[in-house]
Structure 1
Amino acid sequence: MPWIETISFDAATDKLKQLYARITGPGGNVDNIMMMHSLRPHTMEGHMALYKNVLHHRDNTTPKWFLETLGIWVSALNKCTYCVEHHFAGMKRMLRDDTRAQAIRSAIEAGDPTAAPLDPAQQAAMVYARKLTQSPADMVESDVQLLREAGWDDGGILEINQVTAYFAYANRTVLGLGCSTQGDIIGLSPNNSANADDWGHN
């Protein structure tokens, strides 16, 4: 049970009901992380807009499965099991290589992303995400330069930064309010990247 009151899909009215209708998955399922916002629907609206645009926008150039991998890594560093489980299931589905997905997860669980089957540019992104998550005040310009040297352009660097920052927010929403996976359908995501206003989960 969450640590604050939440409003179920069936009990929702007005603005909340409209937002729930936009983000539902199969059978009217609403992810618990979104239900955490139900007493202040405007914060749910802000959360979903950020999530959709950071991870699931057509103009991103970084493969979506790798953006999810960064999210799993940040969530593991923050010890947010909820986000690890949800986003691992999504990454695994997108990657379509269960053996590789599990090897990535094992490396993350060991705290050693260099052991993951990722290319050098992706490895560099994982190093950047770890430092930004654990020691944000220690970030320096050379951290970005290392990403450039690994092959990322500045747009890709921005995507890495924003995914890392988004998961810091999502992890703290979950951990600070007692959000669990109970009743969730693990791994759903808003997969219509062509339409930024389509928040439906499948």
Structure 2
Amino acid sequence: MPDQVIRHEFERPNEFTQAQLGWAAWLEPLAIDELTERHYAGLVDKGRVNSPYFRLLARDPDILGARTRTDNDIFYNEKGGLPRAQRELSAAAASRTNGCLFCASVHARFASQKSKRPDDVQRLLDEGTAAPQDDPQWRAVIDASVALTKTPGEFSAAHVQQLREAGLDDLAIADAIHGAAFFNWANRLMLSLGEPTPPLQG
């Protein structure tokens, strides 16, 4: 692992947005021409090769592979449970709570696309996780995600009951918890390894 910290010269974004942000690492990612078949196996999706974040994590390809397969199963396995929009909402709420501008932008954008409710998602970004949400299911997913993110001890049976009363079954509740829990960890990793860059142009 490289030991020299990279200092970047750009104006760091300072507000939550659904725009597509970039991300710059503070440690040197692997160069594309350094990647081996083992690295590509860790990336899982070869399209991730263009991301400096994933090329940095590819320095430990076995851990990256486990991380990416877990991520994919939480968000893309829709054989039951929570709709994709609410899974993305749980990640966006966790990221908003943790202050991870990059992750919040990605998952807010997906939540908007999948739900067709960009104004409700933008309200979450602009006003915070306590902002009004008329949909009881969204309210329950946000509240549970925030509690779990602040500290696992704050998540309680009351949140599970709120999710049930909003119409979620056991599998959907598990999906909401997994989405928030994964990004509660992922935000902290991303925040410790680099910083967001201004919205991409074009």
Same fold (TM over 0.5): yes
Q: Distance in 1 between matches of 2:147 and 2:80?
A: 23
8 Å CA contact retained: 2:25, 2:193? yes
Which ranges of 4 or more aligned residues in structure 1 deviate by more than 4 Å?
Answer: 181-185
Q: CA deviation at 1:34?
A: 1.8
Whichever residue aligns with residue 141 of structure 2, its letter is A
Match of 1:101 in 2: 118
Partner in structure 2 of residue 75 of structure 1: 95
Please list the CA deviations of residues 83-139 of structure 1 after superposition, one character each: whole Å capped at 9, or x if unmatched.
0122223233333x3xx31332223331145523x5212211211111111132233
TM-score (norm 2): 0.76
- Residues 163-197 of structure 1 show CA distances to partners (whole Å, capped at 9, x for unaligned) of 11011111011001115357989xxxxxxxxxxxx
* TM-score under structure 1 length normalisation: 0.76
The aligned residue for residue 77 of structure 2 is: 57
Contact 1:66–1:91 (CA under 8 A) maintained in structure 2: yes
User: Aligned partners of 1:12, 1:142: CA distance in 2, in Å?
Assistant: 47
**2:30 and 2:55 in contact (8 A); partners too:** yes
Q: Shift in Å at residue 81 of structure 1?
A: 0.8
1:44 is aligned, of 64, 70, 79, to 64
- 2:159 — aligned with what? 143
Q: Distance in 2 between matches of 1:8 and 1:23?
A: 17
1:31 paired to 2:51: yes
State the Cα distance separating 1:79 from its structure 2 match: 0.4
**Do the aligned partners of 2:75 and 2:87 also contact (CA within 8 Å) in 1?**
yes
Higher strand proportion:
2
| Structure 1: stretches of 5+ with no match in the other structure | 186-202
Question: 1:65 corresponds to which letter in structure 2?
Answer: A
Taking a change above 3 Å as real, the CA distance of residues 90 and 143 of structure 1, as seen in their structure-2 partners, is closer
Aligned residues of 2:41 and 2:65 also touching (Cα < 8 A): no
Unaligned runs of 5+ in 2: 1-23
User: Counterparts of 2:162 and 2:112 in 1: how far apart (Å)?
Assistant: 28
Structure 2 residue corresponding to 1:17, chosen from 40, 48, 71: 40
Residue number in structure 2 paired with 1:121: 137
Contact 1:32 1:180 in 2 (8 A): no
Partner of 2:27: 4
Check 1:62–1:81 CA distance in 2 against 1; reply closer, same or farther (3 A cut).
same
Deviation at 1:24, TM superposition (A): 3.2
1:91 aligned residue = 111
Report the Cα distance in structure 2 between the residues aligned to 1:142 and 1:103, rounded to whole angstroms. Answer: 24
When the two structures are aligned, how many residues end up with a matched partner? 178
Q: Which amino acid counterpart does residue 84 of structure 1 have in structure 2?
A: A
Q: Contact 1:104/1:113 (CA < 8 Å) preserved in 2? A: no
| Paired residue secondary structure (1:59) | coil
**CA root-mean-square deviation:** 2.5
